[in-house]
Amino acid sequence: MNETDFRKRIGNNISYYRKANGLTQSALAEKLNYSDKAVSKWERGESVPDVYVLYTMSEIFGCSLNDIIGQSSNNDITDEKLDEMIKQMQFRRIMITSLSVGLVWLVASVIYFIIDLIVNSVYGLGKTEFAIVFMYSVPVSFIVTLIFSKLWGRIWQQAASVSGILWGAVISLTVSFNVFDFAEKSAYKIYAAAAIFQILIVLWYVMRKKSSKKQS
């Protein structure tokens, strides 16, 4: 096999796994910090990405590095089968994300009942104070969605997850102030600071989106 055939093989495999994962060339380029023109050249076999980029692709696609550079019969798959594979991939991703978020709430429930069993039974405190653990599960859940959105999602999904982390943490803190009689006067300062951070988050992701389009 000569170099041209090798580049075309890799290009065909990249194209197949990109489509199977429901990604556009721009979306894949965004995850790799490259332009969609570079992805287009790879898929046409005009150039080949370096080994690290190929490895990163294998993690994004959920396949092995050998699947990308090796001989493949993926081109024989019909559009109907490819659409079905994309739907299955999307469903699997939704399920993985949902189960991961569910695990966060399961851990929070276990922590709550352990505290209730040990602390409240000994000291006779009310249950309300320790129900705050469920409030803190909200920002933690958004941390989980941020991890998966950086791996599979788009920029707007990442921005939504970061915003969820911010406001989930802020609300949890203010509720904690009310429950544990902390300085309640500090609550408005926290909301003001959070609003400033929210503006910065929006500006940051807008800048990233425009930068990605400019590279294209």
Q: How crowded is the C-beta side of 98, counted as CA atoms within 13 Å?
A: 6
Q: How far, in Å, CA of 152 to CA of 159, rounded?
A: 14
pLDDT at 55: 86
Q: Is 59 exposed, middle or buried (0-12, 13-18, 19+ CB in 10 A)?
A: exposed
| Residue 3 exposure: Cα atoms within 13 Å on the Cβ side | 3
Residue 107 pLDDT > 80: yes
pLDDT at 205: 83
Largest CA-CA distance found in the chain, in angstroms, rounded: 77
- Over residues 153-180, the pLDDT tens digits come to 677 888 999 999 999 999 888 887 775 5
Domain parsing of the chain, residue ranges: 3-76, 93-215
Span 4-15, pLDDT tens digits: 888 888 899 999
Which amino acid belongs to residue 118? I
CATH class for the domain made up of 3-76:
mainly alpha
pLDDT score recorded for residue 49: 86
Query: Residue 188 and residue 160: Cα distance in Å, rounded?
Result: 23
- For the segment 19-55, what is each residue's pLDDT rounded down to a tens digit? 888 888 888 888 888 888 889 999 998 888 888 888 8
The reported pLDDT for the residue numbered 216 is: 46
pLDDT tens digits along 87-106:
777 788 889 999 999 999 99
Q: What is the pLDDT of residues 182-196, one digit of tens each?
A: 555 667 778 888 999
